[in-house]
Structure formats: structure tokens, C-alpha cells
Amino acid sequence: MRASERHASLPLGHGSQFRQDPELTEAIDQLYADEQLERVVDNSENLLPNRILELSEVRELVKNEISLNGDDLNLVLSEVQKQRFYFKSIIVDVQADQSVQEIQCRRKPLIKKIEGILDEVNKMAERGETPKLELRNQRLWSNCVYDFDRVTLKSFAEAKKTSICYSDSNDRTRFSTIVFVLTKVHELLTKRLTVTRRELFYQNVARFRKQSTLDTAVRDVCCLLESPPWHLGVVATAKGLVAGPLVMVARNGAVVDCMNSGGVLIPQDVSGIQSLRSTARYVLVVEKDAIFQKLLDEGALMRLGPVIIITGKGYPDVCTRQLVARLTRELRLPALALVDADPHGLEIYLTYKYGSLAQSHLSHDLSCGKLRLLGARHADAVTLAPAAARLPLTARDRRKIQSLMRRPYLDAPACAPLRAELRAMLASGVKAELEAVAPTASELCDAYIPAKLRQLRVKT
């Protein structure tokens, strides 16, 4: 069904009707169609997809198998439509059962692995040796590979290692914290409990003193166990928001409808979302909460829709990145990023798209290789933002650009436009926030974003 058919006439107020511009509707439909075509090409070997047939497909099958008059055919299709919802509920229940089994199968090997690591530490101490742990170094870009449109940490055999020795005064605190987190994770897995990082910190403030100390230890433990934190019972505290035609069904049956005027908080346990249902045509990832709220206040869900809008409120947390990745992968939706035309905006875009160095061991679950930069581009800052609204690059901005350009994955041919973007910004010496490019919510929603969506159609 086309976007124009779904949103040809949506009520905005008493006596008023909204009609989306036909060109914008065509651009959104084209964006969605291109993504579906690309997915078909990528999955051309999967000739029998495991899914429920759409009514149009059922209609063709019915026509080919039996001969019915129009009234009878409509009755059959009406019954099929009722049954589709019934079968969907069955599938969700089956998936829930399978998910529980997967969790149980995954828990035992992790518990055994933790016990093996702690046992080896004890044996070292008994033998009079210095207890130590060996980890892949996650502070080196050279320890990562650019693979499948994301940045991935090299395998243990290939990566450069770092040893954390208890005898070293510089490593002692880190070593003790890792061992403590290992014992805590063992307890969580054994008792089948879940805790947020923030809760774990406040339960042991005297030990950690700083949240960053715990975060580093959790990352190290994940690297040791080669498992994401949510599989260990440790989930992040969510800060991101999502709004749009999206329904999230949790493993415990709880349902979250995201058609909320101010958006809804992204769940802390995104892996616990059993199913995602949406009629959206694309996902719009917004850098800042202020822009997110402006878009919602201006009616962007209808004016630019059908669309799911997400914000990580600045540098994105794990939960936001994980949800964006799941939406594009499971719902097969194209994703676009809307960030400031400055070094930090581009870094945030790169984090969503390729992943971060610190979380490179989780890139499979957190990166969104399909994400495209909608705006604001440097050319937009130069041509659309008034001279008075442009800002000069600071020394810190220049260092940030140079640091981004040194990332190995930007040497890939596919990243050439991004390198050109960074070079142009560095050469001009100016940057601009999105608010300078489109000063009002109306300009952003009715002019700037629609124009950028049409440009994507032309480029395609």
C-alpha cells in the first residue's frame, strides 16, 4: 500500500485536513522500494521466506487454485484477514518459547566459562604466580576490521593483547573490578536476574567510586566471555526516545505503542523485545532531543510519514543503537540520519552506522550499515545557514576532524563521500547547527527535510 493511500487525508484539527505533497510521497515510496529491492537481491538465495503472506499474495494463490465469484472471494479473503492475526499471535507465542529455550541454552556455557576463568585465577595464586587476565586491546583501531559495513573487533588469535596483572599497581584496581563483575554476572546468570549498570553501580558505590570504572569492567568482561552484556544480565540505562507507528511486544507479553505525542522511552532491555510491528516506510535518526521534540510538535509523523523517529539525545547509548539496528534489519526499513553540520554530528552519525571503538565487540548488534546521511551536510551549512549563524571551527573541532579521518574504515571506497565531507569542513573552517540551516520547526518539517528526501530520490 502506498503512503499516499494511507495518509491521503489525516485530521490535523477541527475542520482541517492534511494532504501530503505527492512528490514527497513518491520520494518516500521510492526510498522504501529501493530498500526492499536491495534486500531481495541480497537474499536472492532465500526462495521461501519464513513469513505470513500478504492479502494480495493470498488473492493470487486463491485465483490460481479455485474459481470463485466476487462475493465468495471477498468472504474468503475476509476470513483470511481474521486468521492472519490469529496466526501472528501463535507465531509470537512460539517465538517466545524458542527465546526462553535459547536463553537457557546460552546461560549454562557462560556460567561454566566464568567458573573456568575464576578457577584459573585461584590456581595462579596457589602456584605462587601473579594472577593476570589477558584481553584484546579495545583502544586500538588497528585491532578492528572493517567488515560487512561495520567495525568489528578482531578475533582473540589475531588481535593485539593487553595483560592485566594484579601485581601491577596501575592494573590492580581494574583486575579486582573485573573479578568482582565476573562473580556478580555469575550470580545474575545463576539466579536468572537482570540489573542495570546504574543499579549495579549504586549497589557498590564504595567499590567503583565512578560509573566509568564499572562501565570499563563490564566491557572487559564482555570481551573475556565474548558475549554482549544483555546476555549476562547487565542492561544499559536507556535515555533515547522513539515515536511513530511502531508497536514493541516484550518477551513477557507487555506491549508498547510508540504513537505518543512526546515519544516513549526506549526499553532498557532491547534484546527482550520479542517482536516489532510497524507500518512505517523509513526510520529517521535525529541527533538532538530538541529537534526530535520540534518535529513531533510540528506533526512530522504525518507530514513526513509514515516514519519512525528516534533520538539518542546526543551521543547515542547502547539501547538506542541496538533498536535502530533491529528496526532496519528485522523490519527491512531504510534509515536516515539528521545531525548537525559539525565534527560531533558526523561522529554521532559514524557511531550509529559503523559502531564505536569501545563497543567494537558488539558491532553485530549495534551498527546500522544501511544508515544514510540525510543532513545537515557541510554544503547545507554554507548555502542555507546565514553567515551570522555559522560558527568557526575551534582547535578542538579541528583535532576531532583529523581524528575521524585517521579511522581506518574511512579509507574504504564506500566512505569516500564522508572523507570529502570532512575535508570540506576543515578547509572552510566553519560549522553550523541544524537550527541554523532550518531556523524554525515549520521550515525543518515542511521545507528542509522534504527537499532532502526528494534529493535522495533523484540520486537513486
Please give the DSSP secondary-structure letter assigned to residue 267: P
Rounded Cα distance between 425 and 282, Å, is 28
Crossing angle of helices 70-126/172-191, nearest 10°?
Answer: 130
HSE-CB of 236 using CA atoms within 13 angstroms: 23
Place of cell 602456584: 127
Element holding 195 (H helix, E strand): strand 195-196
Place of cell 574504515: 409
Element holding 246 (H helix, E strand): strand 246-250
- Name the CA dihedral angle for 31, 36, 42, 46, rounded to a multiple of 10 degrees: 180
Phi, then psi, of 441 in degrees rounded to 5? -60, -35
Tell which phi-psi region holds residue 299, choosing left (phi > 0), alpha (psi between -120 and 50) or beta: left
**Cis peptide leading into 250, omega within 30 of 0?**
no
Burial annotation 268-293 (CB, 10 A radius, 16+ → b, else e): bbbbbbbbbebbbbbbbbbbbbebbb
Q: Give the sign of the dihedral formed by CA 432, CA 437, CA 438, CA 439.
A: positive
Crossing angle of helices 395-405/343-354, nearest 10°?
Answer: 30
Tell which phi-psi region holds residue 383, choosing left (phi > 0), alpha (psi between -120 and 50) or beta: alpha
Catalytic annotation on 202?
yes
Tell which phi-psi region holds residue 263, choosing left (phi > 0), alpha (psi between -120 and 50) or beta: left
324: which 3 cell numbers? 535502530
Rounded Cα distance between 171 and 179, Å, is 12
Q: Which is catalytic among the residues 202, 349, 409, 448?
A: 202
HSE-CB of 2 using CA atoms within 13 angstroms: 12
Neighbours of 85 (CB within 10 A): 10
361: which 3 cell numbers? 565487540
Q: Where are the beta strands (DSSP E) in 61-178?
A: 132-136, 144-147, 150-153, 161-165
> Beta 307-311 vs 16-18: how paired, if at all?
unpaired
Q: Where in the sequence numbering do the catalytic residues fall?
A: 202
